[in-house]
Amino acid sequence: MTTFQLEKHVNYVKSLDKKSDFDSVVMEHLRMSGAYWGLTALDLMHSLNDMDGEEIAAWILKCQHDCGGFGGNIGHDPHILYTLSAVQILALFDKLSVVDADKIAKYISGLQREDGSFAGDEWGEIDTRFTYTAVSCLSLLKRLDSINVEKATDFLVRCRNFDGGFGCTPGAESHAGQIFCCVGALAILGALHHVDRDLLGWWLCERQVKAGGLNGRPEKLPDVCYSWWVLSSLIIIDRAHWISKEKLRDFILNCQDQDRGGISDAPDDAVDVFHTFFGVGGLSLLEYPGLKSIDPAYALPVDVIDRVFYGQKS
């Protein structure tokens, strides 16, 4: 059986910050999220201490705007997605105190619309991802009371489809990534009674292809990142025992670059930090030995979540 190349993955993630090829340059606008993926992967692999938390926190603060929101990098416009990533990274380093939680909460609550939905930024695009982002971020900051939780829940429920899944807006096609966002947000809001667990579990289990990997929608190829979106959702609704975990584990392990480290979307493809994080996260959900366990709704290590909510030091 293939083994997990922990050390190589750690080295791979650490090497990313120094890259300056063209592909990295055109990714600069989402560096905040890239940092969250890489750093959380490192923490799951017990290697966060190698990183300079002070320096990273200082950079994060430079990405904050007067409105309270964060950009994906210095000089980029604020967006709710990067605001969550910033807060998540600070939570990893136990540095949430360096930001003004009320200011961030004000930015996020300002993005809630009359129907309960959230815009991603001032330009008004609506998506259930942004609801998840708002809910997760405010919960980490203990500011959920700054939004209309009831309306936010109603909007998520309106995005539910006949197949039990959820899409990005009311009536939009079910998609595993959007399902994670909706189910994760409902879990944080304590509103999982709106989910038909059997129906949704059925749709999610049908994402597992015979070879073991998970796809994100009907008729699509399996992809490592869906190990996260699908499996975390299944765990949240308590239906993960309906799939073959062994086959899924083997699929993820087969997507490793055995020589240079990193995990790709599918076997023999090029690795990237996004799939490395979701591959490691998926293995963590599968309780793979040697990894920290990860919280399926917050997508942060469980000890970080415990520290945020119960003040327990790891």
Residues lying near other proteins in the complex (CB under 8 A): 21-23, 25-27, 29-30, 33, 37, 71-72, 75-77, 79, 81, 121, 123-125, 129, 132, 162-163, 167-169, 171-173, 175-178, 180-181, 196, 198-199, 201-202, 205-206, 208, 210, 216-221, 223, 225-226, 229, 239, 241-244, 265-266, 268-270, 272-275
Alpha carbon distance 92, 304 (integer Å): 6
Q: Helices (H), strands (E): how many in the chain?
A: 14, 2
CA 53, 59, 64, 69 torsion: positive or negative? negative
Shortest CB 58 distance to other proteins, Å: 20
Collect all residues with Cβ–Cβ distance below 8 Å to 98 and sequence separation of at least 6. Answer: 57, 61, 90
Shortest CB 222 distance to other proteins, Å: 10
Contacted entry of other proteins, Zn ion, none for residue 192, CB cut-off 5 to 8 Å set by kind: none
Alpha carbon distance 27, 73 (integer Å): 10
- Of 218 and 290, which has the nearer Cβ to other proteins? 218
Shortest CB 202 distance to Zn ion, Å: 23
The answer to whether residues 205 and 212 touch, using CB atoms and an 8 Å cutoff, is: no
Alpha carbon distance 85, 104 (integer Å): 12
Query: If binding is defined by CB under 5 A, does position 13 make contact with Zn ion?
Result: no
- Of 116 and 212, which has the nearer Cβ to Zn ion? 212
CA 134, 137, 138, 139 torsion: positive or negative? positive
Shortest CB 213 distance to Zn ion, Å: 11
- Of 129 and 307, which has the nearer Cβ to other proteins? 129
Shortest CB 3 distance to other proteins, Å: 25
- Of 69 and 222, which has the nearer Cβ to Zn ion? 222
Question: Quick check: helix, strand or coil at residue 245?
Answer: helix
Fill in the per-residue mask, 249 to 288: x = in contact with Zn ion (CB under 5 A), - = not in contact. ----------------x-----------------------
Contacted entry of Zn ion, other proteins, none for residue 244, CB cut-off 5 to 8 Å set by kind: other proteins
Q: In one letter, which amino acid is 25?
A: V
Shortest CB 289 distance to other proteins, Å: 23
Query: If binding is defined by CB under 5 A, does position 225 make contact with Zn ion?
Result: yes
Would you say how long the chain is, in residues?
Answer: 314
Residue keyed to tokens 């409902």: 186
Among 227, 242, 245, CA closest to 294? 227
Structure-block tokens of residue 39: 């750093």
Collect all residues with Cβ–Cβ distance below 8 Å to 14 and sequence separation of at least 6. Answer: 42, 50, 51
Shortest CB 68 distance to Zn ion, Å: 31
**Residue ranges in contact with Zn ion by CB under 5 A:** 223, 225, 265
